[in-house]
Structure 1
Amino acid sequence: MLQFAVSKVIQKVEAKYPAKLQIGSAKFLDLNTVMVQDIQFLPIDQPKLLQIDSVEATVSFRSLFLGRLVFKQFNVTNGTIDAIKQGATDNFSFLIKKKPTQAATADTVKKSNYGILLNRLIETVFENVPDGVNFQRLAVSLRNEGLFIGVKVPSLTIEDGVILSKAVIATDSVTNTMNIKGVVDPDDYLLSAKMYGDAPGGIEVPYIERKWGATLKFDTLSVSITGKEFKNGNLTVRGESSGYSLVLNHPKIADEDVFVKDGALKYVITLGDHYYSLDTLSEVRINKAVFYPQITYETRPNRKIGIKIDSPNIPANDLFQSMPPGLFDTFQGMQATGSFKYHMDFFVDMAQVDSLTFNSDLDAQNLSITNFGAQDFRKINQEFVHTVYENGKVLRTFPVGPSYAKYTPYAQISPYLKNSIITAEDPRFFTHKGFHEGAFRHSLITNIKEKSFVRGGSTISMQLVKNVFLTRKKTITRKVEEALIVWLIENLKLSDKQRMYEVYLNIIEWGPGIYGAKEAAQFYFQKLPSQLTLEEGMFLASIVPKPKMYRTYFDPYGNLRSYPRYFFKLIAGNMLKKGLISANDYNGMSTHVNLKGRAADFIIKIKPDTTMIMDTLQLAPIDLLD
């Protein structure tokens, strides 16, 4: 019977694959234990793929009576898998080739429900976990067109549900020695494993540098599944994951290594038919700061994305101390009393992007900063030294205050210039607390429609903070850091609005190497900021989003093109409605600007590109329709 079963397995494998399966011997050691020796899997005309010296399996008689095969003990000694794909040599691709696409059937439709598929996989795995496992001297290697991965496992045991193993994992550039400890309980669908190195920072995740230009290291990583529920085609899986001493580096995330001492995720994930969610009972912890995320993603009939984030009351010191170095350097060393609470709600139906909803609310209770740490956000209240960055490099440094000859006090700047910029950039600057949710929502809608970042949502407060306190490198977390600094300045009234606007007008870029209202007035019009006319003020306001683009605003005859003329009419109309200019100013406004300064020498005298339609909302970051 045993020999018959072995021959049937060989026939089945060889009928399915272009390979030979060889089994040296198979025999019973006792009534329910089988020893199979010298197992080889030999692809036709290709190198050997698999070699196992011996497999010893003890079968549960009870499982035989139930009509399925479950091993009580499973021992493997001296196993080698050597997968190779280099040029004409390929000994494994035939195992993973996809079957020809067939017309959709009821069965294939079911396969689109990843909840059903994952539930089937989990149950199969847990139902077939032996009571005991003893793997000795296993080696797996993959050589795939220059890619190399090698894994050596001296031993792997499972006894009374306890998992113990050690593995050496080698790639082209990284070799890790990893210890693994865990527990498994098939009856409760419980699996937990902890991976750690022999030395601090000893585990480095391979290939993410080649794939994404990032590096990731950790001391200890724990993952677990603590339970599952399958109901009405939906699978809900619960579990936890945690990491200790994680170090991440990626130029789009931060300028330097990001260090997280202790992080954890408790997850409740649901998968269904074209539906995926991270449910409300999930929890993210970064050091001492805790957040409750909820994410939903639907793919049919329309793609829909929903994100909610809530937090409990987080003591202010816990929040500041939990901010990972490398991500939030401006808050390192900050101390405070009081607490924070956060709520964010985002939803978009990709078939109705204009109905996108977004709101974000950070509340504080009895907040008071006792130590500003690395950056004192009150420094803008007196003279300070400002550094200009371009492409991550220092371009220029100058004082912002009376000692600098090019500094211009607020009262000595033309109201036309001040009001034009406020109207175009941030109409509610003097009344909001640093944020304009409506503008940010419109920017999200525009960016989603264009499938790229074409429109910002920054208020003047945010632009000021970005210029004064942060480098100009665009990283994922810089926007969060910028928003929190703005919130602190505005809500704790660390500076008044007029002073913030005065600093802003004295540091923003207005052309190639041109910073501040005084340099701009001189460069374009050979005037003082107080002497600027309505037209000149609106021209300077129009180029704030893209100051070096001013050279394309004029035709070969020195006249303004259609976009700036439209901008003049739109901004002047809004200024008239708000009483910022008179009817005589509006009616007497010209759409001609005479450049008298050095700026005239840099005008690009090219014919207009009639194929390009410039969107004013793309250039102005704040919603012009106030």
Structure 2
Amino acid sequence: MQYAVTKVIQKVEAKYPAKLHIGRARFLDLNTVLVTDIALLPNNQPKLMQVDTVQATVSFRSLFLGRLVFKQFNLANGNITAFKQDSVDNFSFLYRKKAKGAAADSTAKKSNYGTLLNQLIETAFENVPDGVNFRNLGVLFKNDGRTINMLVPDLVMEDGEIDGRMTITTDSVTNTMFVRGVINPNKYLLSAKMYGDEKSGSIEVPYIKQKFGATVRFDTLTLSITDKVFKNNQLTIKGESSAHGLVLNHPKIADENVTVKDGALKYVITLGDHYYSLGKGSEVRINKAIFHPQVTYETRPNRKIGINIDSPEIPANDLFESMPPGLFDTFQGMKATGTFKYRMNFYVDMARVDSLKFDSDLDASPDFNITQYGPVDLRKLNTDFTHTVYEKGKVSRTFVVGPANPDFTPYNQIPNYLKYAILTAEDPRFMTHKGFHEGAFRHSLITNIKEKSFVRGGSTVSMQLVKNAFLTRKKTITRKVEEALIVWIIENLRLTSKQRMFEVYLNIIEWGPNVYGVKEAARFYFSKAPNQLNINESLFLASIVPKPKQYRTYFDQYGDLRAYPRYFFKLISGLMYKRGLISSNDHNNVAPYVNLNGRAGNFIIAKPDTTQIMDTLELAPIDLLDF
């Protein structure tokens, strides 16, 4: 025993800049060892570990090899205290490589997280004892002012079954949870379930609030590894994870709590040298809706991202019922016949962004039909309805859309100049597409990736109409998905004619400060009725649709249009003429000048010209090119 203890101490102290202290070690029987007063003290740093007693049944043969292989491992009253402040800590020496003798390919090895993770998994599983009993184990970690404190009153593993409880405090969040699971080291199998106690109920994920401003909690979480294969320097791990009673809150995702009663992920993850993937066989389930995602990410020599999503046929009612409350409120309670099937493909090589590939398609069976609407009747555009305008998440104005409102302008009283100018700039294929323009969306992705910010959208008139008529103006990820599904239903079931959709659109969109609809716009800018607008005035109104409140910067101190609106006039009128929407005489009469006779003229900002002639792909939410 003394020989083995000496060898262990020598081995640890030769490998690490630390002292290993063992107070006493003795046999209780032929191969059961009791070790007391164990401590690991890093050089010139506070104590990392202190354990009162360890009782272990060991392999007798391993004693002579200087390597302890445990069959049973019992630990009582242990504490691990790790800290990191700025660049100083008392634990990184455990995994930091020594500088001398570094292999020539060390950089490549560090980049291959598959190799590193495989080594970690194999080491961990190879050293799992047949039995474990932990009592009163504490782990304290302080990192630049943040603290994690874990207390394990008891954790038992016997015959591959795990049973324990723990309390984890991270800053202001404290979770008390139970852990149940199974482990089979020979098959690299691990499965664990975590759930809260009766008092706290759900478990809140720590640090998400501080890091991302989000709250994530769940009632039960299961994690498992079911298979591991390491081949050709790539590690592939298969497993499953599920969550019950999952609650997510983040202002960028939704306005309120998002609740998923039952969610699951089957994953096939591969890690290699600068390569990561979620592979074939992976599955995401949200309540009853199932999707099959595949994701690849390469970092060398160029960053390459590929995403593929498809689904089996999903009964329409299953899809609507699976939409979490707080996420897609429009579809809560909606009923339908038929099925859905979805697919999406995306690929980009960051060295060749212009070759980006994107296509997305949602198909429904021939018998798809809405039999019951939810809180919002998607047919409301066909009759008079009340429209509410939101500014910064708050209601700023409410008005009726229809003949009951004296400011409503019927389609046939809106000049063709204005209708054609807006369609040419915003959505040239509005009258023929079914709500979406993949070519435009693809080009918006290319522009946004190049600019590394959201500078250009890909919204069609249908999408802009739905955003205004059915949804709040808060910009959340899920609102875009909800918007797209509403557009798909309206367009594919032909709930509203294209002419009526465009008529409503022109009567509700914003055209300036508290200016909504074409009649208010014509009066505010030109003191005219809509049917009196000429081609120059129509082009001006079309030019400000994307950013109506910025019209004040379109003019210089002399009342002349600046560079961007002049370019817009020339481009859009040229496209209108090319497509036969205006005559040659109209085209020749286009002049980069308008006279703001309405109240708008009182608010012009006289500043130096900072506008630029923009690429056609950045002029409006929809591209101006033919595809």
TM-score of Structure 1 vs Structure 2, range by shorter chain: over 0.9
Match of 2:339 in 1: 339
Q: 1:64 to 1:102 in 2, by over 3 A?
A: closer
Q: Distance in 2 between matches of 1:212 and 1:201?
A: 23
Q: How many residues end up aligned between the 2 structures?
A: 624
Are 2:145 and 1:146 aligned?
yes
Q: Partner letter of residue 39 of structure 2?
A: Q
1:186 deviates by 1.1
| Alignment partner, residue 454 of structure 1 | 455
Question: Structure 1 residues 174 and 573 mapped into 2: Cα distance closer, same or farther (>3 Å)?
Answer: same
Q: Which amino acid aligns with 2:589?
A: G
Contact kept in structure 1, 2:218 and 2:244, CA below 8 Å: yes
- Partner residue of 1:474? 475
Q: Is the 8 A contact 1:563 1:616 kept in 2?
A: no
How much has 1:431 moved relative to structure 2?
A: 0.1
Distance 1:124 1:104, change over 3 A: closer
Report sequence identity in percent: 72
Deviations along 1:389-426, one digit per CA (max 9) or x if unpaired, are 11111111111011111110001111100110000000
Provide the residue aligned with 2:623 in structure 1. 623
Partner of 1:560: 561
**TM-score if structure 2 supplies the norm length?**
0.95
CA distance 1:104–1:541, change in 2 (3 Å) = farther
- Following the alignment from structure 1 to structure 2, what is the Cα–Cα distance between the partners of residues 328 and 201? 26
* Structure 2 partner of 1:105: 104
| Shift, 1:34, TM fit | 2.1
What residue is the counterpart of 2:519 in the other structure? 518
Report the Cα offset of residue 97 of structure 1.
6.5
What corresponds to 1:255 in structure 2? 255
Task: Report the AA paired with residue 411 of structure 2.
Answer: Y
Distance 2:144 2:588 in 1: 71
Residues 111 and 42 (structure 1 numbering): CA distance in 2 closer, same or farther, change over 3 Å? Answer: closer
Q: Secondary structure at the match of 2:333?
A: coil
Alpha-carbon contact 2:4-2:63 (below 8 Å) kept: no
Secondary structure of 2:594's counterpart equals: coil
1:181 corresponds in structure 2 to 180
Q: Which residue of 2 aligns with 1:229?
A: 229
5+ residue gaps, structure 2, are: none
Q: Could you say if the C-alpha distance between residues 327 and 493 of structure 1 is closer, same or farther in structure 2, counting changes exceeding 3 Å?
A: same
TM-score (norm 1): 0.95
After superposition, the Cα gap between the structure-2 partners of 1:166 and 1:192, relative to the gap in structure 1 and judged at 3 Å, is: same
Alignment of 1:329-478 (within 5 A): 329-365=329-365, 366-478=367-479
Conservation of the 8 A alpha-carbon contact between 1:268 and 1:282: yes
Counterparts of 1:51 and 1:402, CA distance in 2: 81
Instruction: Tell me the secondary structure at the aligned position of residue 477 of structure 1.
Output: helix
Question: What is the match of residue 27 of structure 1?
Answer: 26
Query: Structure 1 residues 212, 142: closer, same or farther in 2, change over 3 A?
Result: same
Cα distance, 1:14 vs. partner? Answer: 4.6
Q: Is the 8 A contact 2:4 2:66 kept in 1?
A: no
Take 2:102 and 2:460, find their aligned partners in 1: how far apart are those partners?
A: 53
Contact 1:443/1:456 (CA < 8 Å) preserved in 2? yes
The answer to whether the 8 A contact 1:46-1:89 is kept is no
8 A Cα contact 2:536 2:593, kept in partner: yes
Q: Unmatched 5+ residue regions in structure 1?
A: none
Distance 1:66 1:54, change over 3 A: closer
Deviation at 1:300, TM superposition (A): 1.4
Output the amino acid matched with 1:143.
Answer: K
Looking at structure 1, the residues matched to 414 and 100 of structure 2 have their Cα atoms a distance apart, in angstroms, of 70
Please report the RMSD computed on the Cα atoms of aligned residues, expressed in angstroms: 2.2
Segment of structure 1 superposing worse, 48-57 or 504-513: 48-57
Q: Which stretch of the first structure deviates more once superposed, 581-590 or 26-35? A: 26-35
* Counterparts of 1:604 and 1:620, CA distance in 2: 23
Alpha-carbon distance in structure 2 between the residues aligned to 1:367 and 1:405 = 39
Q: Which residue of 1 aligns with 2:82?
A: 83
- State whether residues 40 and 50 of structure 2, in contact with CA within 8 Å, keep that contact through their aligned partners in structure 1: yes
Query: Is 1:315 aligned to residue 315 of structure 2?
Result: yes
Q: For residues 402 and 457 of structure 1, do their structure 2 counterparts lie closer, same or farther at Cα, with a shift above 3 Å needed?
A: same
Q: How far is 1:69 from its partner?
A: 4.8
Q: Does the C-alpha gap of structure 1 residues 479 and 147 become closer, same or farther in structure 2, counting only changes over 3 Å?
A: same
Question: 1:484 corresponds to which residue?
Answer: 485
Bigger Cα displacement from structure 2, 37-46 vs 181-190: 37-46
The CA distance in 2 between the partners of 1:97 and 1:582, in whole Å, is 75
Q: Conserved in 2, the CA contact under 8 Å of 1:238 and 1:268?
A: yes
Tell me, what secondary structure is at the counterpart of 2:496?
coil
Distance 1:68 1:172 in 2: 39
Q: Quick check: 1:546–1:619 contact (8 Å CA) kept in 2?
A: no
Whether the aligned pair in 2 keeps the contact of 1:201 and 1:217 (CA below 8 Å) is no
| CA distance in 1 between partners of 2:101 and 2:247 (Å) | 46
